[in-house]
Structures are given as C-alpha cells and as structure tokens.
Amino acid sequence: MVATAATSSFFPVTPSPDSSDSKKKRLGNGSINLGGIKSKTSSSGNLQVKANAQAPPKINGTKVVTPPAEVFKNEDGVSFHPPRTFINQLPDWSMLLAAITTVFLAAEKQWMMLDWKPKRPDMLIDPFGIGKIVQDGLVYRQNFSIRSYEIGADQTASIETVMNHLQETALNHVRSAGLLVDGFGSTPEMCKKNLIWVVTRMQVVVDRYPTWGNVVQVDTWVSASGKNCMRRDWLVRDGKTGEVLTRASSIWVMMNKVTRRLSKMPEEVRGEIEPYFMNSEPVVAEDSRKLVKLDDSSAAFVRKGLTPKWSDLDVNQHVNNVKYIGWILESAPLPILETHELSSMALEYRRECGRDSVLQSLTAVSDNGTDEIECQHLLRLEDGSEVMRGRTQWRPKNAKISGNVDQIPADTA
C-alpha cells in the first residue's frame, strides 16, 4: 500500500471519460449530499453546487488568499480535479523548512552560550565571570580577565584593580553560600541586628602584576580569628601557568550600621558563618611591626583637599576601602612611582569616612640602603582624626621575584 501511495504521488492516474460519464449518469436528477456539498437541480436542468462557506485563513493576523484548486480537462472537454495523492496533501514545504531552520538557529545560539570554549589558551577561561566552590565547599574560586581600562602607565594591572578583584570574590563567596542578604556580606541574623562587616587590618604581597589580556584565578576562604573577628585570605594565580601573583590576608569585625560602633559577634551570627570556616594558617605571615603615626613634622610629602565622590561610596554608605589605598598613594613621591612598583603593604583601618569628608594624605620615605624603598603613610581628616595608617614596600621595576606559595592546589576542581 505504501508503494502504491508513493507511485501515485509521482505518476497521477487520470480518470477516463467513461468513468466520468458513468458517475454523471448515476447522479441523475434531484438533490444529493456528498460530504457536505449540497446540489439542487434548477428548472433549466443545470446542476447548481453550493459549498459550505468558510472564513479565509489568517497567518499572524493577516488574511491569506488561497488560490483556487487547479482544474484539468480531458480530451472530451470534461473538467476534473487532480487525484488526491500523498504529495499534494502535505503542507507548504517552504514554510515548514523556514520554521525548522529558525528552530535550529535558536538552539545553536543557546548551545554556543552554554558551551562556549576559548579558541586560544590566553583567552578568558571563565567567559561569564561565574565562580565555583572548591575544596570541600570552603574555598570560592573565580576567574578575571584583565581589561584595557584596568592597567596603568606600566602596562600592568594597578593595585586598585587587584584589590577590586579581592573584594568581588569575597562578596561572591558570601552570596554563593546563601548568606548575602543586605549590605556587603551581611547574613540574615546580622540584618536583624543592624550589623555589617568592616575591615580593620589587611596585608597584601604582590609578586607580579598581570598585564592586559591575562586571566587571573582568585581563591578566597574565611577562618576564625579570635572570639569576635573573622579572617579572610586570598590567593591570586596566573590562570594559564598557575604561578602565584598575589597573596592577601585581612581581619574583619562587626559594626552597628546605626550607631557606627564596633560590636561583638552574636552567637546567632557565629552559628551562621562557622560552618564555612577553614582551618588554615594566614596566607601572609602577620607583620608585627607597629605602624608609625605621622604628623606634619615627620611627613615629607602631604596632599590636602582629598574628597570622596558619589561613586566612591558603597552600599553601606561609607567610602569603599579600596579608595583609601588610592588616597595614601596620592602623596607618594613621583620618582618612586616612576622607578619602583608596589610589592607589599600593611594597612590598618581606624575610622570610616563619608561623602562630606575632606582628607589629607601624608607620606614619609625610609631609605634602608638597598634598592627597595619603604614608605610610611597616614590618611586623616582635616581635624586630625586618623582614618588609616599604612606601610608600603617598593621594589625596582622588572625585578625578579623568588619564592612561591602553594596553599591551594591550582588544579583543584
């Protein structure tokens, strides 16, 4: 039967005149009903046929005029319609093909977005900047590509870029753990008690700065630090070679965002964050040297009139801590910036400042008789209140760095 249908689709069978005449004879005179078609004989003897009325079809709200069915005539002049075959009962092939093509193109676009793979090893490993949890759920890992607007005059990433990557991974870590509710890293219990995290101390060691187009891999984790503090560490690697680029360690405490005073860690909050604590040593050994308090007599370089812009404020309505680093470097001598690069820094945050604050940056340079330079820094308000103390180490540019750290395996998945 299939063979018959296929054959009839390519070789239509033409009815003979005799069969047509015999059908006419069998119809005879009078009214008949053939599949909803009513016929009635008029007084003139002619056959009048009236089909059931149907509304013209619509496609996307537009009326489509259907062409009349093709009519053939045989040798005797008798009209007849072509036989109903398998082919002429199918829908319009062009419309069907267009629909299939559209579906395949849409599916291919979605697949390319979900299964994007770099064509060069130096291209972005994580194209959408989506991090992941590794090390038994205790370490958060995220990749960043160094953009053209993130590099400085040395054609390498600025220290502000590095610090922004650290801050971004810290927040994404808290969010991926389901603890980010309001503010920067505030847990549900912290929100109930109007508590927010603030950083008090930070140490950063930079072995090498990435350049434009490099991909860096940032790992971060948290650990307990005393009874009321939390320590957060970072390890930044070259995404291609696994070379350690930057190590950083910080201490965080809680502050009431209404009274702006430091607060002890409530037991309810401790219960929320303790499951995420990692038992590890600081990635940067603590520098126990006391940070020097500078004044007008001990500071050789002073920059006054520093004011925050609206874009310098974070969601907690105080100046982002990364901005403080830029301010202390405002008073660093230009010859040092031209010949040396920042290799490490120790920071101590003492007071927050808001959008109406006016600050002064003070720097003193210590000459230890080597190629490396050490600077002492102070950021203060106009009334003399300390905002931050700092110490920075500078090495000659293009100096080779020895030593490496391998706290977290780079190939851990």
Coil, helix or strand at residue 4: helix
The β-bridge relationship of strands 32-34 and 37-41 is antiparallel
- The Cα–Cα gap between 121 and 106 comes to 28
88 catalytic per annotation:
no
- The Cα–Cα gap between 341 and 323 comes to 18
377 catalytic per annotation:
no
Q: At what angle do helices 321-328 and 159-176 cross, to 10 degrees?
A: 170
- The Cα–Cα gap between 126 and 117 comes to 9
- The Cα–Cα gap between 184 and 195 comes to 10
Q: Which of 173, 340, 353, 377 is catalytic?
A: 353
Determine the residue type at 403: G
318 catalytic per annotation:
yes
Residue 117 per-residue DSSP state: -
Coil, helix or strand at residue 257: coil
Radius of gyration of the chain (CA): 39
CA angle 258, 264, 265 (to 5 degrees): 100
Q: Which of 318, 320, 340, 377 is catalytic?
A: 318
Q: Which of 316, 321, 375, 377 is catalytic?
A: 316
Determine the residue type at 246: T
Structure tokens at 109: 């676009």
Point out the residues that are catalytic: 316, 318, 353
